[in-house]
Every structure is written in structure tokens, then in C-alpha cells.
């Protein structure tokens, strides 16, 4: 999440940001001297969104020394911790930590001058849009900005984290090989994204930056965001209800690409901002936005309610077609130009004994193969023609939660917060109780098994006063936390926003089901989907 700060109609939005700054900076303090990034690059232009338009200008490249060593690759076709590319440049990192660059598809490599404290220190790189990150052996992240511009403008910072990319720096969530990547969506190179209804939305006046990384057994995708607290609590719920175990990950333009050991692949376009979590700067709705035009910019979208809001829930994972051949664990997704979801997927592999890569557009149905003759970079996978995703599933979460739904006579609920324009993703329902905005219980009870807060949608039930169980879908999106937290559920309440939805067929036929019809007419207020705000621990759930 990387946002500029346009004017806000409601002073509450600015107040929410201010409170966040005080809380986070007070908690984080300064890092220990023995656990900090290199100190010579504390500030850089990456901290000042949105940057300048992409040009690919090569002015200044001739000032970089020509590389004469033997470690430069002949080709750069895949994004790995040692080789990277965007629409204008290729980069390579040697075993000694020397960073190399050349203009895309040209022959001469040059040595990128590094700040003194980074020379020989970098062991991995990742590039997307106009940013490149390097990491050192301890996993500390360093960002080089303006990498779609003249090399004269390239500059570094070690800063990362709240507030507003001024945090003292952070390490990767997990530094496994092939398990992390930089993702950037900018107003210049991507410009827009799609919501679940396929409607185009402006990405904003700044950038969406994050580093997703596989953690644990590969079923968790933790992401580091330079505007959020430096912790491991923010996740992209992995495929198949958060249980799909990946062996490799790639990311670009907010699109994450994962693969398991049997060659089953999924993609998802997801960011903190587009997922429903950032109500300070974005306007969301759980209702269909049929008939409303897309806004031309983020400010218009935020305040002009005649334009379409971002429709929730966030789009889920898309299963990609299997590759008809040998493949390795080295995968790549890259943006191909301005516009939503213009992405290319690449997977290293072999065909007829020749090494190369399989490739296709994000939404294409078939894969093509390009032979390169390059050395194999990944480990070969047991790719199968059949789907074997179910063979790599992690255990379900142990959190089975239940709560009485609040009465609809409450003064404030999830829909109220949306209607009056409050930044509801920072307002935990327990806070409402603390200030006297309590809600009487209804006679309906919500139950959800194996609740994983990282997952966007899951099956749940509502029990009526007569004991009848109604199948519903419970959608959630992360809240905007003010202080660092731990992953998953703990004894400390975790705030989420969400909605209760009646499945389409049941809602359509509700006239034939008196108890369902009564629940829809009363608690759901006649709609098929009802916004809520909720707060969860390992043992309890509060809904408003």
C-alpha cells in the first residue's frame, strides 16, 4: 500500500491516519544497532510517491563501468533472485554481490554503482515497475527507485514500514529461494485494476507496493508493505481456502503467481488497497455497482458516489491450465504494459530435451514454449497432467467460532459505517461497545468452522430461533491495524471487515423457504449481502 494524500471531505480520515502514526511510531521506536539495515541510505525517492512517468531513458548508462567479468548471463528470460527484468532494463546479481544492468535485450552489461554500505552485501534482487529491491544475508530490504527512468535518477533507501514508508526498515518475511518477489502497481505502468465484477478502477495517485513471500509450510503468503507496520500479520490467503502449499512464488503489478510440487498453478490479483482493507483512501461496496461508470481518478472515486465503488469481495484465485511438458520450480509473472491484468506468465522447463520456458498471457488457455539453451535454474517438478492440488493441502485452521448476531436496531453497524463514509476498516466493533454504542442480541447465531482470517470467503451457517441452519458465505477483508501484530488469531482481538451473503440460488428461491425469507427480510434488510464489521480471537467473535 503506497498512497498519496489527497484532501479528505471528512476530518475523521485524517484523524485516523494521525492516530496510526502516533501509535506505530511510539511502539516501534528505534531498532537495535545489531539488528538494523545498513545505515548509509536512510532516505530515497521511493518514499515520495508517486514518482515520475516511465521513459526508459538511458542517459547516464555510459557513466557506469563496463562489466568484464564472467558471471553475467547471456540472456534474462526469467525473474529469479539473481536475474530480473522490466519493460526497459535487465539486471543481474553476481555471486560477489555486484549488481549489473543493461538496456533490455542488448549485449553490454554495466556495473551499477552501489552506496558504500551495500557494496558486496546484496545476495538477492527483485524488480517490478520502477522499483528494485535488494536483500542482504540477514534479509534486510533495500529499495532502488526510478528504475523505469534514466540511471541518473536511480537511488536507494533502507526505510520500510509505517508510518508512510518512514519506518526504520524490515527483513523479508521468509527468504527461501524462489519464495518471494517485489510487486508494484504504479499510476504510470499499470494505471488501473479490476474488481470482482470486472470493472476498471484507477490505482491512485501513487503506488501499490508489497513483497509477498511464502512462509511456513508454503501455505501462508505473508506480505511486507512499506506503509503498514513491520510485522508478519498481513497475508494473501493462499488458494483452496488458505491450504494450498506452494513451492515457488512470483509477483508483478499486484498479481501473485504460485505453483506446487505437482505443477498445479494459481494466480490472483490482490493488494491491501484493492482488497477492501483501506477505507481511509478507497471507497468500497458489497452491493453491485450496476449502471455506475468507473471514475477517472481516485479522488473522484472516493467522493463522487455516482461513480462505481470497488465491489467486494476481492477476486479470488484463478486456476491456470496445466503445462503439457517438463517444468521446473522457477516461475515468473511480469507486466507487459499499462492496463489492468496485462501480464505474462513464464515457467522454466524442457521440451524435446531443450531447456527454455513455457509462456502465455494471464488469461490465455494454452502454453507455448521458447527454447533458450540457458542453464537450468530451478529444480524439476513432478508435473502431472491431472490436478493434484488436494495432495498438497495444509491442515485446516483450528479456530471454530460462533456468536449471536446483533439486533438490527443498533445505532451503528457495518452498513452505517459505510454509508456515512467513516474509515470503517480502522473501527473495531469492540470499540463501539467501549464508547457506549452497544447492540442488543438478535435471535440468530453465526457459526464458522476452521476460520482463517487471511482467506477472503468461506462457508458458514446462521442458526434461526427454531434451530434451522441456513448456509451462508462469510466474506472478510483485513482491518487496518495501527500497531504491529502476530499472524492469524491470538488472544488479542483481530479486526476485520466483511459481509454475510446468501448464495444466489437460495436467495432467488427464498419465497419457498419461510425461515430464510424471514431472515432476509429482517436481518439482511431484504438484500442478498449485508456488510458487517467483526473482531475475532482464538475463542470468540464479535459482529456488528
* Grid coordinates given for 229: 507496520
d(CA 69, CA 541): 60
Q: Among 24-33, 57-66, 177-186, 355-364, name the one with the lowest average pLDDT.
A: 24-33
Which strand (E) or helix (H) includes residue 415?
helix 414-419
pLDDT at 403 over 70: yes
* 33 pLDDT higher than 60: no
Cell readout for 65 is: 563501468
Give the tens place of pLDDT for each residue, 211-252: 999 999 999 999 999 999 999 999 999 999 999 999 999 999
Which is it for the CA torsion 521, 526, 532, 536, positive or negative?
A: positive
**DSSP state string for 74-141:** S---S--SSEEE-SSEEEEE-TTS-EEEEETT-S--EEPP--GGGTTTEEEEEEETTEEEEEETT-BE
Residue 31 clears pLDDT 60, i.e. is over it: no
Question: Averaged over 13-35, what is the pLDDT?
Answer: 39
Confidence of residue 16 (pLDDT cuts 50, 70, 90): very low
> Which of 149-153, 163-167, 399-403 has the least mean pLDDT?
163-167
pLDDT at residue 402 tops 70: yes
Report pLDDT digits (tens) over 342-386.
999 999 999 999 999 999 999 999 999 999 999 999 999 999 999
Q: Where are the domains of the chain?
A: 31-171, 175-345+371-395, 401-543
Cα distances from 307 to residues 9, 284, 297, 537, in angstroms, run 16, 11, 11, 37
pLDDT interval class at 23 (50, 70, 90): very low
Give tens-digit pLDDT for 184-222.
998 888 888 999 999 999 887 778 999 999 999 999 999
pLDDT tens-digit map of 110-127 = 999 999 999 999 999 999
pLDDT at residue 9 in the model: 34
Q: What is the mean pLDDT of residues 462-472?
A: 97
Using pLDDT thresholds of 50, 70 and 90, give the confidence band for residue 1. Answer: low
Q: Which of 8-22, 211-225, 294-308, 504-518 shows the lowest per-residue confidence on average (mean pLDDT)?
A: 8-22
**How many H helices and E strands in the chain?**
7, 30
User: Percent of the chain beyond pLDDT 70?
Assistant: 94
pTM (two decimals): 0.92
Share of the chain above pLDDT 90, in %: 78
Residue 13: per-residue pLDDT: 38
- Comparing 32-36, 315-319, 487-491, which segment has the lowest mean pLDDT? 32-36
Q: State how far the Cα of 361 lies from the Cα of 345, in Å rounded to an integer.
A: 6
Amino acid at each position: 500500500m503506497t498512497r498519496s494524500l489527497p484532501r479528505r471531505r471528512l476530518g475523521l480520515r485524517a484523524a485516523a491516519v494521525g492516530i496510526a502514526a502516533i501509535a506505530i511510531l511510539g511502539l516501534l521506536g528505534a531498532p537495535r544497532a545489531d539488528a538494523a539495515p545498513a545505515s548509509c541510505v536512510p532516505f530515497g525517492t521511493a518514499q515520495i510517491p508517486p514518482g515520475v512517468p516511465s521513459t526508459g531513458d538511458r542517459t547516464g548508462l555510459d557513466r557506469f563501468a563496463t562489466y568484464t567479468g564472467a558471471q553475467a548471463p547471456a540472456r534474462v528470460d526469467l525473474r529469479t533472485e539473481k536475474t530480473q527484468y522490466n519493460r526497459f532494463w535487465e539486471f543481474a546479481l553476481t555471486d560477489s554481490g555486484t549488481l549489473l544492468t543493461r538496456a533490455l535485450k542488448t549485449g553490454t552489461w554495466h556495473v551499477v554503482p552501489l552506496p558504500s554500505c551495500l557494496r558486496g552485501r546484496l545476495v538477492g534482487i527483485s524488480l517490478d515497475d520502477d522499483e528494485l529491491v535488494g536483500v542482504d544475508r540477514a534479509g534486510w530490504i533495500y529499495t532502488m527507485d526510478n528504475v523505469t527512468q534514466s540511471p541518473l535518477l536511480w537511488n536507494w533507501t533502507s526505510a520500510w514500514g509505517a508510518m508512510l514508508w518512514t519506518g526504520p526498515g524490515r527483513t523479508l518475511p521468509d527468504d527461501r529461494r524462489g519464495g518471494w518477489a517485489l510487486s508494484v502497481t504504479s499510476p504510470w505502468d499499470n494505471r488501473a485494476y479490476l474488481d470482482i465484477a470486472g470493472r476498471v478502477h484507477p490505482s491512485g495517485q501513487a503506488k501499490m507496493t508489497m513483497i509477498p513471500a511464502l512462509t511456513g509450510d508454503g501455505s501462508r503468503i505473508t506480505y511486507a508493505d512499506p506503509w503498514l507496520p513491520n510485522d508478519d500479520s498481513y497475508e494473501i490467503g493462499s488458494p483452496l481456502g488458505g491450504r494450498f502449499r506452494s513451492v515457488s512464488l512470483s509477483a508483478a503489478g499486484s498479481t501473485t503467481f504460485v505453483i506446487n510440487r505437482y505443477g498445479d498453478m494459481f494466480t490472483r490479483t490482490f493488494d491491501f488497497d484493492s482488497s477492501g482493507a483501506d477505507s481511509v483512501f478507497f471507497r468500497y461496496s458489497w452491493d453491485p455497482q450496476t449502471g455506475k461508470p468507473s471514475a477517472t481518478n481516485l479522488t473522484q472515486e472516493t467522493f463522487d458516489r455516482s461513480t462505481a465503488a470497488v465491489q467486494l469481495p476481492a477476486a479470488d484465485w484463478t486456476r491456470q491450465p496445466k503445462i503439457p511438458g517438463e517444468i521446473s520450480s522457477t516461475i515468473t509473472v511480469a507486466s507487459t504494459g499499462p492496463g489492468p491484468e496485462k501480464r505474462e506468465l513464464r515457467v522454466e522447463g524442457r521440451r524435446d530435451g531443450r531447456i527454455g520456458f513455457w509462456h502465455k498471457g494471464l488469461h490465455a488457455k494454452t502454453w507455448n514454449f521458447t527454447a533458450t539453451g540457458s542453464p537450468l535454474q530451478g529444480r524439476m517438478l513432478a508435473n502431472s497432467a491431472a490436478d493434484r492440488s488436494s495432495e498438497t493441502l495444509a491442515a485446516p485452521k483450528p479456530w471454530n467460532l460462533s456468536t449471536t448476531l446483533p439486533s438490527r436496531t443498533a445505532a451503528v453497524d457495518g452498513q452505517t459505517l459505510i454509508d456515512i463514509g467513516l474509515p470503517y476498516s480502522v473501527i473495531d466493533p469492540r470499540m463501539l461497545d467501549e464508547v457506549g454504542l452497544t447492540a442488543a442480541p438478535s435471535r440468530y447465531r453465526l457459526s464458522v468452522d476452521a476460520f482463517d482470517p487471511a482467506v477472503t470467503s468461506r462457508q458458514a451457517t446462521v442458526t434461526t430461533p427454531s434451530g434451522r441452519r441456513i448456509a451462508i458465505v462469510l466474506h472478510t477483508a483485513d482491518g487496518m491495524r495501527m500497531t504491529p501484530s502476530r499472524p492469524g488469531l491470538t488472544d488479542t482481538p483481530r479486526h476485520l471487515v466483511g459481509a454475510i451473503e446468501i448464495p444466489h440460488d437460495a436467495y432467488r428461491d427464498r419465497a419457498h423457504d419461510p425461515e430464510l425469507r424471514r431472515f432476509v427480510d429482517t436481518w439482511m434488510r431484504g438484500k442478498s449481502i449485508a456488510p458487517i464489521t467483526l473482531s475475532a480471537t482464538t475463542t470468540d467473535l464479535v459482529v456488528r
